[in-house]
Structure 1
Amino acid sequence: MRRSIVEIEERIRRGEATVLTAEEVRALVDEGAVTELQDVDVVTTATRAVMSGTYAVFSFRLAERGSFSRAVSARINGVPAHVGPCPNERLGHVDLIVFGTAHRDERYGGGHLFRDLVARKSVCVDVETSDGRCISRDITLDEIPHARLFGTRHAFMNYSAFVNTGDAQSTIFHAIPFPPAMSGASFSGCGILNPLKNDPLLETIGVGTRVLINGAEGFVIGTGTRSTPERPNLSGFADMHQMIPEFMGGFVTSAGPECITSWAVPVPVLSRYVLDAVLLPEKSIPMPVMDISTRSPLWVADYAQVWQDVDLAVRVRSDSCRDCRDCIAEISCPMGAIKRPVRIDRSLCFNCGLCSVLCPDVFRARLGSIRSPDGLGVPVTLRQSDRLRAMKLARILKKRILDGSFRISACVERLSP
């Protein structure tokens, strides 16, 4: 038996469709309430993670027509921008591309800039012209008519976890120098919520599939770089004007700032194969474990080890704080979310859990551990995915599908992983 997008769209229009988040499906499966194709029409999936392959394209008027010939270099809030591809000669207009991994300093990069813009903060644009002048302008997102965020390699079906068999070293895969001698692990991926976990053969997700990126409606444009049949990923874009700040931002690693991006993807349950993928339990989702020192595979764990019987958010015991002059948790927080007197700014917090590792008396969270085949448990010391907000985004997508403000769409072309 196979269903079509048109059939499901009609059921949604009539108010008869069963739309569930991936989390809700899992709960119903455990109760035996979802077993057949007709039990669910659409599953809303989501992921929020550190995603390096992110960049933004901006196009806007910088100065009056004829005031300069062309731009040769630019920065926005100090973050380097690439000028072009159009020269815009004597139009007073600039086209700029900013990479999510570009940075002004070790604490502020492209991801921070993107969130500041979406939060409607004023940013400073500095442009050097071909005649050697510098033109500066303060601008907000509402003054930038074209602002699109692109992903070149997002939403892997299953990411890798990392451990370190060598000495401590700086890396994008940890917010502090990676703990040595197998004493800690970091990982990415939201397990059962991950979009491609629920459609691994890309039966429903393809070119033109409508999605939410950072809460804004966007589209899949293909598979991303380094996508393989075993580990596919997605490329897409969305307009930044409709994005929601809490789903994006900058994440400071020990090797410099990275970029946080969130995706929510509807998965219409069109076939038994899609349903079987949706029903797959967390313990059956593989999570490759890599050595950060050599980038070589060590073993394969599973997502149940890091997402079952854990805390999705950190608890704070402020009465246990000794008010250290140099608070290690505050200094090391990759989001700058820890404030004095001791508290967590939840609007910034990524729920990575690092503070609970560095100062367990004040910050508490069970983060799980990654088990090796010989029974060794490597404790998680950093999460680079935020399952709590991924769950929220999946619920937002569900609501929008049901109220008609988001329409699921058939892809215009199937993807080849």
Structure 2
Amino acid sequence: MERSIESINESIGKGEAVVLTAQEVCELADRGEDVEKVDVVTAATRAIMSGTYAILSFPVDAPCSFLRAKEVYMNGVPAHVGPCPNERLGILDLMLFGTDHSLDDHHYGAGHLFRDLAAGNPVDVRVVTDNDVTFTTQVTLDDMPYAMMYGTRHAFKNYSAFVNTSDDTVSSIFHAIDFGPRLTEATISGCGQINPVKNDPLLKSIGIGTRILMNGSEGFILGSGTRSAKEKPNLTAFADMHGMDPEYMGGFFTSAGPECIVSWAVPIAVTDPSVVDAIAERDRQIKMSVMAVDKRACVGYSTYGDVWEDVDLEVTFDPEDCINCALCEPQENCPMAAISFDGDKVKLDRYACFNCGLCTTLCVGDVFTGNMGSINFELGDHSANVPIVLRQSDKKRALELSEKLKEKILEGSFKLTQMVEHIQS
């Protein structure tokens, strides 16, 4: 295969390169067409990614107004001060973990905070100095000369389905409500055939220094992430928060507290035969482990065909079918707080909606509907069929992101980079 990043960039500049989304490539493969002529595949994912943190630096007071900050809270979310003390500068250097929760609102976490910052919303900052003086101020992202998001464990080569095999309900980050017992429901994570690492599982094209979009902002891959393994690699990267699109990030409430949503879009240059084979693999061919949350052990295997083939990527909303229950379970349990009422009229905020589908399983009327599919796998000596009740990956927006990256590449506003070094899983 006589292709290089340099030659592909030249072809893009001349308008001769074949750049397709991962979805388009799979549709070619379904029609039996040749995928070897593809130069670049744009792949994407949007999902809950716990291994997220941000480093922020910004002024909060005049120089010499205090020596050092001891504690800092942003919208109630505790920040980790340092490592630089910024003695007497009136400036804070902070680290915020994506899984940190607000002390003021148990439904609000750092993921929500990151989205508020990207949206330009003012954020309340409470500072406790080293001599126990407390003061408050407000900041926006524009007040921060430095605001970087990092991923310590992002973009797994897909992930898993989750079930509860015990006789009791289980609180878990893998469900928005307590997990029902005895294989009554399943949740899933992973965008299947459009997932970035699925399209380059040997990491021949994706490497250290590969330019990506994280939440719509340009960033770079740094290497493999924590718990990365050859059979299930994941990546670490960073991007400037100033260019991030709030629609593709945010917080997601689980029964174990708020989690962090992150989106990736990755260009995969087709420079190796292994990439040609991988990009043609469809959801029904991608193995998916089924994990029991009650014991955090694998109990079987299915495929992403069960998750993404012949299902609805978006929830159908019919407000006129509302029967005005005394307690609206979808509103009460929506992990994105996307459902509200104006008097007795139910409303769905599509911008906030993650398309997780939980509302379709909780609504006793037909306000929220959608085909979510079910997981089929062998468990011991019998076959199990477990309905999917929650998706922690938003394939609809991941498809949008892969299309946006394709457009950026073709118009010349996003340039493919040559990796500095291969990633060792």
2:175 aligned partner? 174
What does 1:71-82 align with in structure 2 at a 5 Å threshold?
A: 71-82=69-80
Q: Is 2:65 the partner of 1:61? A: no
1:84 aligned partner? 82
CA distance in structure 2 between the partners assigned to 1:26 and 1:270 by the alignment? 18
After TM superposition, what 4+ stretches of structure 1 lie above 3 angstroms from structure 2? none
* Alignment root-mean-square deviation, CA: 0.9
What does 1:329-368 align with in structure 2 at a 5 Å threshold?
A: 329-340=330-341, 341-359=345-363, 361-368=366-373
1:101 aligned partner? 99
Cα offsets for 1:352-379 (capped at 9, x unmatched) = 0000000152210111100012432100
State the shift of 1:240 in Å. Answer: 0.3
- Residue 402 of structure 2, aligned match among 371, 374, 394: 394
SS in structure 2 opposite 1:376?
A: strand
Which letter maps to 1:395? E
1:29 aligned partner? 29
Which letter maps to 2:144? I
1:111 aligned partner? 111
State the shift of 1:319 in Å. Answer: 2.0
1:223 aligned partner? 224
CA distance in structure 1 between the partners assigned to 2:234 and 2:418 by the alignment? 19
- Bigger shift: 349-358 or 359-368? 359-368
Question: Retained in 1: the 8 A contact 2:55–2:149?
Answer: yes
State the shift of 1:56 in Å. Answer: 0.6
State the shift of 1:81 in Å. Answer: 0.3
State the shift of 1:129 in Å. Answer: 0.4
State the shift of 1:389 in Å. Answer: 0.3
State the shift of 1:300 in Å. Answer: 1.2
1:383 aligned partner? 391
SS in structure 1 opposite 2:361?
A: helix
Question: Retained in 1: the 8 A contact 2:286–2:304?
Answer: yes
Cα offsets for 1:109-135 (capped at 9, x unmatched) = 000000000000000111100111112
- Bigger shift: 304-313 or 354-363? 354-363
Question: Retained in 2: the 8 A contact 1:106–1:252?
Answer: no
Question: Retained in 2: the 8 A contact 1:220–1:236?
Answer: yes
CA distance in structure 1 between the partners assigned to 2:79 and 2:419 by the alignment? 33
1:127 aligned partner? 127
Cα offsets for 1:225-256 (capped at 9, x unmatched) = 00000000000000000000000000000000
CA distance in structure 2 between the partners assigned to 1:217 and 1:52 by the alignment? 20
1:5 aligned partner? 5
State the shift of 1:33 in Å. Answer: 2.7
1:143 aligned partner? 143
CA distance in structure 2 between the partners assigned to 1:152 and 1:338 by the alignment? 32
Cα offsets for 1:281-340 (capped at 9, x unmatched) = 211111100111001111111100110000000011222211123211000000000121
Q: Is 2:198 the partner of 1:193? A: no
CA distance in structure 1 between the partners assigned to 2:86 and 2:6 by the alignment? 44
Which letter maps to 1:369? S
State the shift of 1:408 in Å. Answer: 0.6
1:245 aligned partner? 246
Which letter maps to 1:393? L
Which letter maps to 2:404? I
Question: Retained in 2: the 8 A contact 1:2–1:272?
Answer: no
CA distance in structure 1 between the partners assigned to 2:131 and 2:245 by the alignment? 39
CA distance in structure 2 between the partners assigned to 1:256 and 1:397 by the alignment? 32
Question: Retained in 2: the 8 A contact 1:25–1:34?
Answer: no
2:184 aligned partner? 183
Which letter maps to 2:296? R
Which letter maps to 1:377? N
SS in structure 2 opposite 1:11?
A: helix
Cα offsets for 1:93-146 (capped at 9, x unmatched) = 110111111111321000000000000000011110011111211111001110
CA distance in structure 1 between the partners assigned to 2:184 and 2:178 by the alignment? 12
Cα offsets for 1:46-65 (capped at 9, x unmatched) = 00000000011100111111
Question: Retained in 1: the 8 A contact 2:183–2:386?
Answer: yes
Q: Is 2:45 the partner of 1:44? A: no
CA distance in structure 1 between the partners assigned to 2:310 and 2:246 by the alignment? 29
State the shift of 1:45 in Å. Answer: 0.1
Q: Percent identity, please.
A: 54
What does 1:265-280 align with in structure 2 at a 5 Å threshold?
A: 265-280=266-281
State the shift of 1:343 in Å. Answer: 2.5
Question: Retained in 2: the 8 A contact 1:223–1:415?
Answer: yes
Question: Retained in 1: the 8 A contact 2:160–2:288?
Answer: yes
Which letter maps to 1:70? R
SS in structure 2 opposite 1:17?
A: coil
- Bigger shift: 46-55 or 335-344? 335-344
1:403 aligned partner? 411
CA distance in structure 1 between the partners assigned to 2:285 and 2:370 by the alignment? 24
CA distance in structure 1 between the partners assigned to 2:280 and 2:28 by the alignment? 10
Question: Retained in 1: the 8 A contact 2:205–2:272?
Answer: no
State the shift of 1:158 in Å. Answer: 2.2
State the shift of 1:26 in Å. Answer: 1.1
With normalisation by structure 2, the TM-score equals 0.96
- Residue 369 of structure 1, aligned match among 374, 377, 384: 374
SS in structure 2 opposite 1:402?
A: helix
CA distance in structure 1 between the partners assigned to 2:337 and 2:292 by the alignment? 28
CA distance in structure 2 between the partners assigned to 1:284 and 1:198 by the alignment? 13
SS in structure 2 opposite 1:63?
A: coil
